[in-house]
Chain A
Amino acid sequence: MHDGSGPDWLTIVGRAGGDVPSSFPIWVVDDGDDHEKYVELQRDQTVADVGGAVGGGLTNAEHVKRATYIGTTIDQGRTSGVLTAEIVNRLLGWAPGTQGPTNARPPYTPVPFSALAGTDSGPVLLDPIRVTPIHAWHDAHGAVYENVGQWKRPRYYPRGDEDMDAAVARETRALRTGVGVLDASTLGKIDVRGRDAGVFLDRMYTNRMSNLTVASIRYGLMLGLDGMVFDDGVAMRISDEHYVVTTTTGGAAAVMDRFEEWLQTEWTDLRVYCTSVTEQWSVVAVGGPRAREVVAACGTDADLANDAFRFMTFRDATVAGVPARIGRISFTGELSYELHVSPWHAEHVWDAVMAAGQPFGITPYGTEAMHVLRAEKGYVIVGQETDGTQTPDDLGMAWIVNTGKGDFVGKRSLVRSDMLRDDRKQLVGIMTDDPARVLPEGTQLIAGATIPEPPAHMLGWVTSSYRSEALGRSIALALVEGGRGRIGDEIHAVIGNATVPCRVADPVFYDPEGTRRDG
């Protein structure tokens, strides 16, 4: 190739053999500053950078590549590889072509992501869609779905031309004044058994589970090692050495992994086995002032009388002709019964509840109504009110932390000085002065009505926000700096370039005495 008809570092292409070439490559122009001669446009590397590498003793283009990162970008050196090699050759006084460009690695031609995904692409196969045993009913009744992890959960069931707000208002009204039913099958469930089951759960949750009475239920909070809220759920004590605990829908696998990790790595002396039973049980949650009558009308051998079957207890009984674990537990503040049944019977039980509830106007409700109802009660959703930086006290849940029971995951972190600051962001309620105004979730909150020059001091943000049918106005939950000390104070929500006046409120908006849970 090299015939000496040009400068000795030139490679002649095209007509060789003595003819005057019509074109030839120029690797470097001699004039100008080497710092302005770009070799690698994606990394801004110049002839000077290549010179620096060679001056440092590197002679192999592969080494120069690693010293300069030339050729490590999106085109894998397709625009810079030959150029770099020839500049190195030249700088070393070697003939062109003495060493070629570095080895290209795939993908060195553009590859669509869909080619890598192969069959696992498109709306059905990209990510599995998990459905409950009652899904066909939801489909047949026009449910609009919400993705919760990989699950499709009914968000609301519009009637006629209702929009979401209208449907949710109707569904929440039914819960507060009549009766509603929710498919809660997606709740994570873990069977925890063994001689040390109670001890184990005492170490995983912030409160004590070992003294829970058989046939009783207790709410529990789990922390990370950093003391931040990780997941929540309830524990049901089946017998002395047997519990079933529930987790959030999205947190089920993470909680199971965590249980196994601690048992297998830290507490190998504990005699406990955990089994995921999320899909062994489906859950039909019947709630509202008429819930007791509806469960009774399904046909059950359980005594549902309030004195016989108290809040936060459960019974193993028969409902609608099939075995059921009935739990009196409520995420809405209303009288509620969770019917834990075999998924093989789930549709049957759902149908039975719908039939028994018909005289009471039973209303199936979705996750959106559930979110509104629990927000009216100030109940947090892990992952909605929390983002991994909230302690129990931040959420107003110091009552659930039992520091006298011995060690538990996260306990040590709760006494670090930063965790005890009184200006940490705390959960509060927010009421807009205009009751019709619903703040967008994520709205930032500031003290004054005027937005200050940046950097503005943000007091916190809105975590949940809804129109509440029961209160006839908007409500919101928020995390606000020293929030509990600001209850009753004015605060301002920033919407675009304007502010919306609000008041800080207690996060429990509805039935703070909890009188409604007994029906």
Chain B
Amino acid sequence: MVDVRSPLAHRAAALATIDAVEVPFLTQVDVRCENADAARLGLPLEPNTFSGDISRATLWLAPDEWLLVAAPGDPGVVVDGLEVLLADTHHVVVDVSANRAVIELHGPNRLALLASACSLDLDPAGGWVPGVCAQTLLARAQVILQELPDATRVFVRPSFADYVVDRLIVSV
């Protein structure tokens, strides 16, 4: 029997104090390709937005880079599917499922909490609404923020995950 361990398995109680949970083992696939191919595949072309929903989403990360996020499973299936769709184009598809831990924050105060450690304008009135995402810094860690209806996801390198939890707890 193989023990699998997610990066924040040991911080569940701490996360609960800020109305957050780890979403472990999500499938995450990095896609690099040209815009014409991205358009053909229906990847979002509007910077800092994502298509899809909480169960499956494609995040715009850069002019030629997207992050596909899907339920835990075999990332190889997603990679292979994209390889077929992008065959004969200049592209790469890389499984990065373990490259980032995912923290999901709930509750009405979640954006105020994140804003205390983030220089990005996270006010809904300023445009931070469900459907947007951004690469930014949360205190001193690089993160991707994804705004969902009633939840915000924080994607962070696992080595920084403990630090981010510590930082958010202090902010409360």
Contact = CB atoms under 8 A, between A and B. Distances in A.
Contacts of A17: none
Interface residues of A, number: 37
A343 B24 CA distance: 12
B96 A322 contact: no
B115 to A, nearest CB: 13
Contacts of B2: 320-322, 345, 348
Nearest to A130: B159
B90 A280 contact: no
A418 interface: no
Nearest to A132: B159
Nearest to A320: B2
Interface string A313-327: 000000011100000
Of the candidates A151, A191, A193, A344, the one having the most CB atoms from chain B within 10 angstroms of its own CB is: A344
A125 interface: yes
Contacts of B82: none
B163 A273 contact: no
Contacts of A351: 3
B140 A127 contact: yes
Nearest to B90: A271
B162 A129 contact: yes
A133 B96 contact: no
A277 B94 contact: yes
Contacts of A280: 95-99
B4 A345 contact: yes
A427 to B, nearest CB: 32
Interface stretch (B48-56, B121-129, B164-172): B164-172
A119 B116 contact: yes
A35 interface: no
A133 B7 contact: yes
A201 to B, nearest CB: 15
A279 interface: yes
Nearest to A122: B170
Interface string B100-130: 1000000000000000110000000000000
B25 A128 contact: no
A275 interface: yes
A347 interface: yes
Contacts of A191: 92, 94
Interface string A103-129: 000000000000000011000110111
B160 A128 contact: yes
Given A119-B116, A344-B5, A125 B170 contact: yes
A270 to B, nearest CB: 10
Contacts of B139: 119-120, 125, 128
Interface string A341-372: 01111111001000000000000000000000
Nearest to A134: B5
Contacts of A128: 139-141, 160, 163
B25 to A, nearest CB: 7
Of the candidates A136, A280, A322, A342, the one having the most CB atoms from chain B within 10 angstroms of its own CB is: A280
Interface in B47-100: 64, 90-92, 94-100
A275 B98 contact: no
Contacts of B30: 275
A458 to B, nearest CB: 39
B136 interface: no
Of the candidates B95, B98, B116, B170, the one having the most CB atoms from chain A within 10 angstroms of its own CB is: B98
Given A119-B116, A119-B170, A136-B10, A279 B92 contact: no
Interface in A286-323: 320-322
A344 B95 contact: no
A195 interface: yes
Nearest to A185: B159
A489 B139 CA distance: 54
Given A128-B160, A133-B7, A277 B25 contact: no
A283 to B, nearest CB: 13
A212 B6 CA distance: 35
Contacts of B98: 279-281, 342-344
A275 B92 contact: yes
A131 interface: yes
B7 A343 contact: yes
Contacts of B7: 133, 343
B158 interface: yes
B153 interface: no
A383 to B, nearest CB: 20
Nearest to B3: A348
Contacts of B140: 120, 127-128
Given A120-B140, A133-B5, 17 more contacts: A119-B170, A125-B166, A128-B163, A131-B162, A191-B92, A271-B90, A273-B92, A275-B30, A275-B32, A277-B96, A277-B99, A278-B157, A279-B157, A321-B2, A343-B7, A345-B2, A347-B3
Closest 9 pairs (CB-CB, A-B): A130-B159, A128-B163, A273-B32, A273-B92, A280-B99, A193-B92, A275-B94, A348-B3, A344-B4
5 contacts: A119-B116, A129-B163, A193-B94, A275-B96, A280-B95
